Amino acid sequence: MGLMSTWPRWVPGAATGWGLGLVVLTLSWALGSEHGRPLPSFDLPGPFWWTLVVLAVATTVAARGGPSVLWPAVAVPVLGTFGLVMQAVAALATGRVEDWPALLVSLYCVAGATLFTGAALVRTRTARGACARCGYAHPGGPVTGRTYPEPGRASFAVRWTAYLGAVAFVPYIVMKTVWALGLPIAGVAGPDLTVGSGAGSVLGRLGIDLTSVLALAGAVLSVALVHRWGQVFPRWVPVLGGRRVPRWIPLVPAWLGATSLGLYPFVALALLVSGAEPAASGGIGAWVVVVGLAGFGGWGVSVGVAAVSYQRRTRPQCGPPPVSDVLHRPMQNS
């Protein structure tokens, strides 16, 4: 059996190892290291960094515990992914990475979030007597192979949550498009998109803002997660038409967007309450911040809801599904 097919065996141990690495990392920040430090633009007190050390130690201990402590521990690496999408977009736009240590720390936290979620699933499924790999019961013993459910739409509530998240990006897309055309909004001019050598400058010379294109792609992703065409390639797609969409294709960007962008409004609120001051305001209007946070946060939260539904609706089973599951599984809803 391959490494991925045996993941329930090694993921809990790997999560513990990841936690030990986090302890070392946070300890370096508490002792004054600046490499990969989160929120570098804010002057945060020493006790904050030592609190991170204690949190990292608690997270490492939780990796060996049951579901009741593992699921809350997932929040720690998830918080560490904050800003990853924006770092990747900035690198794509400029053609270079501004802060490699920060990017590597964010990617490290993505790995941690994956490991801790996997470990929590293993503990939860094992506790209720289900298969740790697929989550379904196999009364006849272990089985091999995988069976995928029939494609179908998400529930009404989930679909409309995805639609609202997509709409939340519209003001942001409009704002960045107007700026890309060289027009100011309420006296505020957009950034110069022609600077640099990355994809952002190439599109900027054509009057197109890269972030507005990515936001539009995010809106389409939200809708794809709740409809059948997000599970099966449409017939008009060359070569792939009619084939099943590998789950990781929509889920990886969806979860990265949910954990990274969905945190923006909450982090901004926490910093506002704490009284932390940024190194520079940049002179942008307050309404620009509101449009950005509403778009990022609204889409991030909604795409997370859609991703949960998609993951449940497309979850494969080991071997053929039990008769009871076939009889009671809803056909179209999550």
What confidence tens digit (pLDDT) does each residue in 37-89 have? 887 777 788 889 999 999 999 999 999 999 999 999 999 999 899 888 888 98
Closest CA to 169 of 272, 285, 303, 268: 303
* Percent of the chain topping pLDDT 90: 51
What local confidence, expressed as pLDDT, does residue 294 receive? Answer: 82
Span 113-124, mean pLDDT?
96
- Give the integer Cα–Cα distance in Å for 150 and 231: 9
More confident residue, 292 or 113: 113
pTM here?
0.83
Asked if the model's pLDDT at residue 150 lies above 80, the reply is yes
- Give the integer Cα–Cα distance in Å for 248 and 230: 11
Asked if the model's pLDDT at residue 195 lies above 50, the reply is yes
Helices (H), 31-169: 46-62, 67-73, 75-80, 84-94, 100-127, 156-168
Domain ranges of the chain: 7-133, 156-314
What local confidence, expressed as pLDDT, does residue 262 receive? Answer: 83
Confidence of residue 331 (pLDDT cuts 50, 70, 90): very low
Task: List the structure tokens of 273.
Answer: 């309450």
What local confidence, expressed as pLDDT, does residue 251 receive? Answer: 96
